[in-house]
């Protein structure tokens, strides 16, 4: 039986978020590397709930911390930024007019939060822009998804051994890699079709799968994440830079 609440009973006030201390260290060549590549690095921190923006300023690394509850996957394109959080994906838009007014402070871009898409607690481990479409890893439902205005998410692909979609984290699908701007590779902890069945195998059961063939092309990894396709020519240039 439901117990009615008396009219004079006031709900407890929400507790303010707990502040977390974030410690970090960096190598001496971090700032020179960022300056050479002319890039800013974005790092999501799951437990601290931060998106860390790392750049170089006057030969020294510059760190900025922005709060997103349980920040995980991040996707970037020149005009927008997406951040996967506990129950939603936050969408930020580039504001070049504001960035221009910040030019004296050394900024060449400014992103402002403009919308959030509610996905529920699906553990968005990784995301990527495929053209104008945002793809993300839905770890809880063991599939790759995109967004839709009428739905929390739209499943687009699942491993062939997953028989149906359920919020059971069956294989701990977590990584998404693109080739030529299209989804091509995924990683997961184990080829299991039971609720959280990957946990006993996480030390040796990790797999890399090719989406073009739906075949596992490498096995035996310990907790694999974030597959990436590297251009060999660019890697050789990178080696020459570091070798002087």
Nearest CA to 171 among 126, 224, 119, 129?
A: 224
Give pLDDT, residue 103. Answer: 60
Distance of CA 160 to the CA centre of its chain: 24
Are residues 90 and 32 located together in one domain of the fold? Answer: yes
CB 192 within 8 Å of CB 201: yes
Are residues 165 and 203 located together in one domain of the fold? Answer: yes
Among 118, 143, 159, the domain-final residue is: 118
**Exposure b/e, 217-230, CB count within 10 A at least 16 = b:** eeeebeebbebeee
Distance between CA atoms of residues 210 and 229, nearest Å: 12
Please indicate, yes or no, if residue 14 is contained in any of the structural domains: no
Are residues 141 and 192 located together in one domain of the fold? Answer: yes
Please indicate, yes or no, if residue 1 is contained in any of the structural domains: no
Are residues 158 and 216 located together in one domain of the fold? Answer: yes
Average the pLDDT over 181-190 and give the result.
98
- pLDDT > 90? residue 240: no
Among 63, 85, 118, the domain-final residue is: 118
The token pair that represents 15 in the structure block:
């507790």
Give pLDDT, residue 18. Answer: 62
Please indicate, yes or no, if residue 20 is contained in any of the structural domains: no
Among 118, 147, 171, the domain-final residue is: 118
User: Domain limits at 166?
Assistant: 134-244
Distance between CA atoms of residues 224 and 3, nearest Å: 48
Are residues 57 and 81 located together in one domain of the fold? Answer: yes
Give pLDDT, residue 234. Answer: 57
- pLDDT > 60? residue 46: yes
Please indicate, yes or no, if residue 9 is contained in any of the structural domains: no
User: Long-range contacts of range 30-39, CB-CB < 8 Å, 24 or more positions apart?
Assistant: 30/54, 30/56, 30/61, 31/56, 31/59, 31/60, 31/61, 32/56, 32/59, 34/61, 35/59, 36/241
With 0-12 / 13-18 / 19 or more C-beta atoms within 10 angstroms meaning exposed / middle / buried, residue 190 is buried
**Exposure b/e, 88-110, CB count within 10 A at least 16 = b:** bbbbbebbeeeeeeeeeeeeeeb
CB 89 within 8 Å of CB 122: no
pLDDT for 99-152, tens place per residue? 888 766 667 889 999 999 999 999 999 999 999 999 999 999 999 999 999 999
Model pTM?
0.84
- The CB density around residue 118, as the number of other CB atoms within 10 Å, is 9
Please indicate, yes or no, if residue 126 is contained in any of the structural domains: no
CB 154 within 8 Å of CB 165: no
- pLDDT > 50? residue 158: yes
Give pLDDT, residue 106. Answer: 65
Give pLDDT, residue 192. Answer: 98
Give pLDDT, residue 41. Answer: 94
Are residues 217 and 149 located together in one domain of the fold? Answer: yes
Please indicate, yes or no, if residue 182 is contained in any of the structural domains: yes
CB 119 within 8 Å of CB 155: no
**Banded model confidence at residue 5, pLDDT cuts 50, 70, 90:** very low
């Amino acid at each position: 039986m439901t117990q009615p609440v008396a009219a004079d009973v006031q709900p407890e006030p929400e507790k303010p978020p707990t502040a977390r201390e974030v410690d970090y260290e960096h190598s001496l060549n971090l700032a020179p590397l960022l300056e050479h590549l002319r890039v800013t690095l974005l790092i999501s921190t799951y437990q601290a709930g931060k998106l860390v923006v790392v750049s170089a300023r006057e030969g020294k690394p510059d760190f900025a911390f922005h709060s997103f509850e349980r920040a995980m996957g991040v996707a970037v394109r020149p005009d927008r930024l997406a951040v996967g959080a506990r129950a939603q994906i936050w969408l930020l838009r580039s504001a070049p007019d504001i960035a221009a007014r910040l030019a004296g402070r050394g900024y060449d871009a400014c992103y402002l939060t403009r919308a959030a898409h509610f996905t529920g607690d699906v553990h968005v481990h990784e995301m990527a822009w495929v053209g104008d479409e945002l793809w993300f890893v839905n770890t809880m439902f063991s599939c790759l998804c995109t967004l839709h205005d009428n739905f929390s998410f739209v499943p687009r692909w699942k491993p062939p051994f997953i028989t149906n979609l359920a919020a059971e984290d069956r294989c701990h699908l977590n990584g998404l890699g693109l080739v030529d701007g299209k989804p091509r590779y995924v990683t997961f902890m184990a080829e299991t079709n039971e609720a959280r069945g990957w946990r006993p195998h996480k030390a040796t059961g990790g797999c890399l799968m090719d989406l073009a063939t739906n075949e596992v092309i490498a096995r035996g990894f310990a907790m694999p994440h974030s597959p990436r396709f590297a251009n060999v020519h660019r890697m050789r240039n990178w080696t020459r830079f570091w070798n002087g």
